[in-house]
Amino acid sequence: MMNTNTVAGGSGGGGGDGRGKERQLIRTITTILTKNENPQNLQQFIPHLTLPIIISILSYKPLHSQPETLLSFFKWFQSNAHSSLIHSPKPLLTLLPPLLSRRKFSDAKSLLLNFISSDHPHHSLHAHLLRSDHTIPKPLLDTSLAAYVISKQPHLGHQIFNKMKRLRFRPNLLTCNTLLNALVRSNSSHSLVFSREVFQDAVKLGVQPNVNTFNILIHGYCSDNNTEEALRLINQMGEYGCCPDNVTYNTVLTALCKRSQLTQVRDLLLQMKNSGLFPNRNTYNILVHGYCKLKWLKEAAEVIELMTGKGMLPDVWTYNTMVRGLCDEGKIDEAVRLRDKMESFKLVPDVVTYNTLIDGCFEHRGSDAAFKLVEEMKARGVKENGVTHNIMIKWFCTEGKIDEASNVMVKMVESGFSPDCFTYNTMINGYCKAGKMAEAYKMMDEMGRKGLKLDTFTLNTLLHTMCLEKQLDDAYTLTMKARKRGYILDEVTYGTLIMGYFKDEQADRALKLWEEMKETGIVATIITYNTIIRGLCLSGKTDQAVDKLNELLEKGLVPDESTSNIIIHGYCWEGAVEKAFQFHNKMVEHSLKPDIFTCNILLRGLCREGMLEKGLTLFNTWISKGKPMDTVTYNIIISSFCKERRLEDAFDLMTEMEGKNLEPDRYTYNAIVTGLTKAGRTEEAEKLALKFAEKGQQVKTQDTSPELGTSDMMYSEQISSLCTQGKYKDAMKLFQQAEQKGVSLNKYTYIKLMDGLLKRRKSISKAVR
């Protein structure tokens, strides 16, 4: 054994002496390794190891025929050397070529995966692979590409593929398919574009695609709802010597059924049959699921009969799908009978069957029927699972019974099931909707302590609630903490906060957050731009909103009808109706197709500014062109007629809208009742209000108010309180007083007034009897 004092040497001596000692150390270590001695014998040399020495040892050619020895040495130095040596990718890149040349693919991939897992976020290995001056062997690039994909970093694998393309290296088919599969399943909006490019480049490099290659691409297009491209790929497969298989057809059939494209489903089934393939059980199950989704239960049942006729007995999945379809339609009795029919075919209803029935009972029969099924399930020996508890929690939260939901969660734990992300997310949403923010926070904290990750949807729901409550500082703090904890913030997260600041008249904070969002690398889509444009319009900065529109156009984004409507509404809200029409006309020149919302915004703008006659001209022009009108359109004109005391015109227009099967709603009646009251025609007003109150259950509940304005909470609360106490006359007097003062009541006050009037009418009827 070499004398360590000789290795260590003194502090004196020149550079040449130092290099000589390094060479001597390398010879000593390689000699020990060549003799297959235990690497632990090298412990004494650890203080003298440097990066050049390690690389020299791993590059020692005689050791390349002993891959196991090299591997042992590498693992030894990784466990014992200084961290600066361990984190360098160079030793690994030196070791991998000899391992791969000796077909140690599994060991090479394992080493790569371990290094990649600890190489975040610097990606030093990746940078070295891309920028290395010396030629990196093709097998090393190929294996590294696969390792990055397996590590769920397909974007880095894609960059290695591009380097291989530049070097004219042909990747392995399996590697290509692995990369394609990861790309099509990633959340990137460009994933399909990249996948198509990888496919085309791989073919140019000499890769011969197989059926799996096409099935991956077809799955990607179907997931993106692009069935046209998926069908085109099926027709291209023959050019590459491939034939579609059942997986190919079933993938596209699933997508077509989801889009309710039944004509194409029939055509594809015929093509499948003509190609010599026959539907398998999975094909039939896809059709059953598709028909059930469309609520075509009769057709779904016919598929099951056809399946049976072909000697292919339906399985539990088939029946469970049909049970779900029946439950969705509220046909619980039929669903139960089908469950019983399963048993006649010696198919045992499983926990999915019962969970589906329980879910259906909660929705259509109530909790009593649902809990009876839970007991029946236990009696039949079918054990409940976490999903069973989640269903109960979901429905209790939906009904606002958050305490009952909490009790089920406790029982869930007692039964041996750990609450999952769905459980916590449901409870968090339930607490938020119930206004119990403290409880939502506690649930969120508990979720984190148990190692479960709050998903972005729940985070955004929580932020939305906080913004509604004007807890903007807390909302922002929560967002920043979530980001530090590793949560991926999306454009909805930022958009929710940005709109919250705008609504709170903090435009500067909103715009600052917009810039912050862009700095984080989130690419703004049309949805995000619509948020910022809406916020600027809300703040009376419509000209700035137009600047943002120009910005998105420069980025190659295409504005939608919503974008234009927001800006038109902004100008109208500012009273700049002429600008609104100028903008509208300019957008029409650029192929904008105005919709009913555009028409209503412009019409409302004219009427608000007292330009009723121009509004009527616009209204009549739309009718003459056959443009669709809705209740809001008529309410805008009727409201303006009433404000100008043209009550007969208002009545005529209400009759016209009824002739077009447009039901007058509370806002229609309210406008006319208000007009009659102001004109002193109180008796007519009361009769009309009573007419509406009697048919109130049939009136649509969506907001069709032509003018939302601001509300005086004092009048609204006093009138609602009087109605609740049954003091209708006092409520009516206060209502008239509010109208005389020009106070705008909130919509719930009007509902209370109508409800109070209806109750008063019922009590009068009882007295007459």
pLDDT tens readout for residues 120-139: 778 888 888 888 756 788 99
- Show the tokens assigned to 721: 């309180």
**Sign of the CA dihedral with 58 first, then 64, 67, and 72 last:** negative
pLDDT at residue 602 is higher than 80: yes
pLDDT at 274 > cutoff 60: yes
Q: Is the pLDDT of residue 657 over 90?
A: no
Of 12-16, 31-35, 84-88, 646-650, give the range with the top mean pLDDT: 646-650
Instruction: Give the three-state DSSP class for 594.
Output: coil
Percent of the chain with pLDDT over 70: 85
Of the listed ranges 180-189, 415-424, 585-594, the one predicted with least confidence = 585-594
Q: Look at residue 404 in the predicted model and tell me its pLDDT.
A: 92
The SS3 of residue 326 is helix
- pLDDT tens by residue, 322-340: 999 999 888 899 999 988 8
Helix residue ranges per DSSP H, 507-665: 507-519, 526-538, 542-554, 561-573, 577-589, 596-608, 612-624, 631-643, 647-659
One-letter amino acid for residue 506 of the chain: Q
User: What's the mean pLDDT in 406-424?
Assistant: 91
Q: What is the CA radius of gyration of the chain?
A: 36
- Is the distance from CB of 691 to CB of 720 less than 8 angstroms? no
| pTM of the complete model beyond 0.85 | no
If you average pLDDT over each of 244-253, 461-470, 486-495, 576-585, which comes out highest?
A: 244-253
* Two structure tokens written together for 282: 């999975």
Alpha helices (runs of H) in 81-153, residue ranges in sequence order: 83-86, 90-101, 105-118, 124-131, 138-150
Do 338 and 301 meet the contact criterion of CB atoms below 8 Å apart?
A: no
Nearest-angstrom CA–CA distance, 69 and 57: 11
The lowest-confidence range among 351-355, 431-435, 450-454, 653-657 is 450-454
For the segment 19-30, what is each residue's pLDDT rounded down to a tens digit? Answer: 778 888 888 888
Average pLDDT value for the chain: 81
Using pLDDT thresholds of 50, 70 and 90, give the confidence band for residue 7: very low
pLDDT at 36: 76
Residue 680 tokens, joined: 């002193």
CB 272 within 8 A of CB 249: yes
Query: In the predicted model, is pLDDT for residue 289 greater than 50?
Result: yes
3-class DSSP assignment, residue 490 = coil
Measured over the CA atoms of residue 152, residue 155, residue 159 and residue 165, the dihedral's sign is positive
Average pLDDT over residues 209-219: 94
- Measured CA to CA, the distance from residue 243 to residue 636 in angstroms comes to 61
Do 175 and 181 form a contact (C-beta atoms < 8 A)? no
720-749 per-position pLDDT tens digit: 666 665 665 666 666 666 655 555 555 445
**Looking at per-residue confidence, does 208 or 694 come out higher?**
208
Tokens of 379: 């009696």
Mean pLDDT of the region 293-299: 79
Helical H runs in 190-315? 191-204, 211-223, 227-236, 246-258, 262-274, 281-293, 297-309
194-214 mean pLDDT = 92
- At residue 18, the pLDDT reads 64
CA distance 256 to 254: 6
3-state secondary structure of 741: coil
> How many Cα neighbours within 13 Å face the side chain of 467?
23
Query: Residue 711: what pLDDT?
Result: 35
- For helices 507-519 and 526-538, the axis angle rounded to 10 degrees is 160
Average pLDDT of the residues in 93-118: 89
Percentage of residues in the chain with pLDDT exceeding 90?
17
pLDDT at 225: 74
Query: What pLDDT is attached to residue 746?
Result: 52
Q: Which of 421-435, 443-457, 617-631, 685-699 has the lowest mean pLDDT?
A: 685-699
